[in-house]
Structure formats: C-alpha cells, structure tokens
Amino acid sequence: MIDADPQGAAVTAWIGALYPDGLPTEQRYNLRHVFLGTEPGAAGGLTREVSLDEATWPTALENLDLVPCGPDLSRVEYERTGGTDDALRYAIAESEQHYDVTVIDASRTMSLVTLACLIAADDAVVPVKPGVLDAMGVASLDEILARIRRRQNPKLRVAAVLATMWSKSNLARDVQEQAAEDYPEAIVSPIRNTTQVGEAPHSGKPTRLYAPRATAVADYDQVARLILGTPGAA
C-alpha cells in the first residue's frame, strides 16, 4: 500500500508503519523521500536518492506493507525537479520487492503527486459520492485520464467506479447510472452506506477486520474479486 495523499495521510494514520526499535526519525523514510531524496543534513551534508524499498515498512497486518506519507509530501509540488512525473513509475519498476497487488491511495486533488500516481498505475478505481459536485469531478477526471493515456501511460484504464455512501435515493441512482454511461467498460458498483466504515479508523483496524459482516465490506470484496478476476465474483 502506497499512501500518496498528504491531506491527513489517512492510510498512514489508520494502519501505521512499524519501524525498527531505535531507528532515528530521519531514517524513517516515506514517499516524500522517494520523490525528493534525503535532507542535506541527513547524509553527511549530501542529498541522496531513496528507493521505494527503503521507504516500505511492515504493518501490524499480515501480508500488508506500507509506504507511508505525511503532510510534507506536499513539498513535491514546489521542490519538484525534472522527471518528477515519472518518479513513482520508475521507483515501482526498480523495486526488488514482489507483491501480488500494489494499491496507491491518491488524493482527489489533481496535484503533481496524483499525476505521478496515475502515470504509475495500471488501473484507476474512482470513488464518487452521491452528489452533483462529485459527479462533475468524475467527468473532468475523464479528460485528465485521456491525456495521460495519450502522452505517458497508454495502458491506464478506469477499472471501477465506486458509488460510495450509497442508499436507495434518486440522486444515488442517477450518479451510478451516469458513471455507467461515462465508463461503459468499468465496473460500476454501489458501496452501501454503513456507519462501521466511519468507525473503523478509530479502531486502528481495516473495516473488514473491525466489522467483517458490514454491507460495505461485502461490496468492496465483490469489487476486488471482479477487478482481480478471482473466484467468487459474480
């Protein structure tokens, strides 16, 4: 899991990285270091590159490693150098770790970091809430994705659009129908509204461990199976 959303760094705060005891703070590398390297004072006065593997840490959850981030990831926006757009793609390609799936949690804001995430990705999963503004945001995202496919990442596709906080309302149905029209090849799935999704971060557990029988968990599981092509998908 790569946390690429500096606004609150929700995944990092929710799941947390496990660092070795006694590891100095300046050596607890995160995604910002992958983009910008070390601080000049942290390497004998020199700046050096940091690989994705150096910024990858275990978590308390089995089979889940995390590349954390913090608010300082926003520094990429004003300290960027040539090649920043492709930095994450190359970092993933050069990694010596082998994972079944790499999930990148990107910001909804179209920042330089979000652009780098889309250039590095094979599939985009787009959450949309039942509202006019979110629906408009999905439409504008389509233009950005088309431009990225033309210029930098021709294999990028919208694999799924998730109608989150879904309830049986006309607005929710309208948003879902519009998404199906805009992305005919994507999985368009409702994620039913449930209070356990909002409660789970306070427990420090993923929703599927905090409330394994929640309707939203079943919905997310179904989408994951469809995207990955695993048995049990309908």
pLDDT band at 78 (very low <50, low <70, confident <90, very high): confident
Mode of pairing for the β-strands spanning 65-66 and 123-128: unpaired
Domains located in the chain, CATH noted: 1-121 (3.40.50.300)
* CA–centroid distance for 77 within its chain: 18
pLDDT band at 165 (very low <50, low <70, confident <90, very high): confident
pLDDT for the residue 45: 58
Q: Write the burial class of residue 110 (CB in 10 Å: 0-12 exposed, 13-18 middle, 19+ buried).
A: middle
- HEC assignment per residue over the chain: CEEECCCCCHHHHHHCCCCCCCCCHHHCCCHHHHHHCCCHHHCCCCCCCCCCHHHCEECCCCCCEEECCCHHHHHHHHHCCCCHHHHHHHHHHHCCCCCCCCCEEECCCCCHHHHHHHHHCCEEEEEECCCHHHHHHHHHHHHHHHHHHHHCCCCCEEEEEEEEEECCCHHHHHHHHHHHHHCCCCEEEEEECCHHHHHHHHHCCCHHHHCCCCHHHHHHHHHHHHHHCCCCCC
pLDDT for the residue 230: 61
One-letter amino acid at 71 equals P
Per residue in 11-25, pLDDT (tens digit) is 888 888 999 999 999
Residue that has been written with the tokens 């048995």 in this structure: 231
Per residue in 24-64, pLDDT (tens digit) is 998 999 999 999 998 766 555 567 899 999 999 999 999 99
Q: Which among 98, 103, 130 is positioned nearest to 206, based on CA atoms?
A: 103
Per residue in 184-229, pLDDT (tens digit) is 899 999 899 888 888 888 888 888 899 999 999 999 999 999 998 8
One-letter amino acid at 52 equals L
Per residue in 126-141, pLDDT (tens digit) is 988 876 556 566 667 8
CA distances from 73 to 67, 150, 169 (A): 12, 27, 38
Q: Which among 166, 79, 69 is positioned nearest to 127, based on CA atoms?
A: 166
